[in-house]
Structure 1
Amino acid sequence: MDQEQVVAKSKARGSDIWDSLRTLVYAVLIAVGIRTVAYEPFHIPSESMLPTLLVGDYVFVSKFAYGYSKYSVIFSPPIFEGRILGSAPRRGDVAVFRWPQDPSIDYIKRVIGLPGDRIQMRDGALYINGEPVKRRRIEDFERRDRFGNVQERIEQWEETLPNGAQYITLNLSKYNSGDNTGVYTVPAGHYFMMGDNRDNSQDSRVPVEVGGVGYVPADHLIGRAEIRWISIDQSASLLKPWTWFGALRWSRMFTGIN
């Protein structure tokens, strides 16, 4: 093989490597762009939003629903303040936001109070601006084991907000501290968030200084949870791939979130 052939092959290998790197860079940039401006996937790690969201649900969150803040971008660079192309959340939206105490941590709750609203809980019932939110008792939520056996029954209520948004809440106990509160007046530019699992949710009823959520600033909103795209129960093991298929909750896959 002469020197020209060696040089040609070397150039060809260099070109192939560069093409591969360029393709990888483009793929990363496209993925980051979609995650920043369109949809971002999130995993549900806790039961604070039962029965709407289960542990092991994976949801797509619309990033353009509320516009963009610095928290919409990976690593949250301080490139601008406030929100751009923003629109206000609707009461009843299930929203992902950054925890005011530590903005590196994501939370997911339901938007209950808008700026200026007065929110209160009385004997487990939700009041907005002095008026009780319409609710009705429905069949119990059944917590089941992997074999389908009922382990626990929990009281369920269907709430209907003033704007017509409907969803289901759980009531674990009649004597929880969050069932009777003072009146919370939502500051301008902030939102009041609550979990659907009312007795098992650290939300805006608890001040941020003691580990709760407190009032959520508008620029901490990430987006609206719109669809469950996959759901895996806790019987699956990461190190046992043969358990993955049986752990899928097929009926929850690609379903909307109310």
Structure 2
Amino acid sequence: MAEMVLEKQERKETLLESISGMALMLVVGLFVLTFVAQNFEIPSPSMVPTLLIGDHVLVDHATFAPPTKWMPLVPYQTIRHGDVVVFLKPTLEGMILVKRAIGLPGDRIHLRHGILYRNGVAQKEPQISVPDESDPIHTYEPFRDDFPNGPADPRMTATWANEWQSHVVNGDLVVPDDMILGLGDNRVGSLDSRFWGFIPREAVLGRPLFVYWSFMTPEDQEQKTSASERVAFFTQVVVHFFDQTRWKRTFHRIV
């Protein structure tokens, strides 16, 4: 009796199935980038030493988002003192910044020669920079280092210059409801809430989790916007990827 050999035929994917698969991957990718996590590059030294220029960080969108019943497994949490937050700058549409939340609603805040006092208690912040008279760039500045008791600063936005004194009570800046006071860790080199005001809670996009890649980047690279300058920097990255990548910062956790 002759044996019958059954050959398994490969089923070829149709064009419609290929398109559907790619569309699903695109939708999932966009969902992750929009609602779960997104990558950002640090362009300024305002958060040194916590974050360096050229750090590429993964930002968690979900943790600080308002809780929802349809996603009960997400570990939602409220913003706490000392959390590093990513947010939309309230005075410039579309600009994304990162600062440390040092004041929450009801907190009474003031700086004394660069030292943060919250509700009358000096805070231990080993990561911050303070005025240094031996450094000509970081010498004492009354407004910046004794905020909010120093004289107004010309770098303040017009809106904040007219508003900030209305929030000062007995020498302390009182944080209003649904607002956050955010300062950079590079306290002597950061244009932060002292210069443009409070961060609306609704403007917070998330928190940076870790550095996934860090490349030695010039401090003025953010201002180099021409096509030739961008091509030049891209070439530098390609040529010096191995020797100018900060390998020790790979997967560095941000706290």
Q: Deviation at 1:36?
A: 2.3
2:103–2:180 contact (8 Å) kept in structure 1: yes
Query: 1:6-46: CA deviations, max 9, x gaps?
Result: xxxxxx99x42x44433332222111111123211111000
Aligned to 2:214: 231
| Separation of aligned partners in 1, 2:89 and 2:66 | 16
Aligned CA-pair RMSD: 2.4
Separation of aligned partners in 2, 1:103 and 1:44: 18
Amino acid at match of 2:248: S
Aligned to 1:48: 46
Could you list the structure 1 runs, at least 4 aligned residues long, displaced by more than 4 angstroms after superposition: none
2:117 counterpart of 1:127: yes
Distance 1:86 1:116 in 2: 22
Number of the residue aligned with 1:104:
94
Alignment length (residue pairs): 194
In structure 2, distance between residues paired with 1:45 and 1:178 = 22
**What does residue range 31-46 of structure 1 map to in structure 2 within 5 Å?**
31-46=29-44
Contact 2:57–2:212 (CA under 8 A) maintained in structure 1: yes
CA offsets, 1:28-73, max 9 Å, x none?
211111112321111100000001100000111111111159xxxx
Amino acid at match of 1:34: V
CA distance in 2, matches of 1:205, 1:245: 39
TM-score normalised to structure 1 length: 0.69
Asked whether the 8 Å contact 1:237–1:243 carries over to 2, the reply is no
2:84 corresponding residue in structure 1: 94
After TM superposition, the structure 1 = structure 2 runs for residues 180-199 of structure 1, keeping only pairs within 5 Å, are: 180-182=146-148, 183-199=172-188
TM-score, normalisation: structure 2: 0.70
Q: CA deviation at 1:118?
A: 0.9
Q: Within the alignment, does 1:179 sit opposite 2:168 as a pair?
A: no
2:169 aligns with none
Report the identity percentage.
34
Contact 1:68–1:222 (8 Å) recurs in 2: no
Comparing 48-57 with 27-36, which one deviates more in the overlay? Answer: 27-36
Q: Distance in 2 between matches of 1:86 and 1:67?
A: 7
Alignment map for 1:64-213 (pairs within 5 Å): 64-68=62-66, 87-134=77-124, 159=125, 167-171=126-130, 173-176=138-141, 177-182=143-148, 183-206=172-195, 212=196
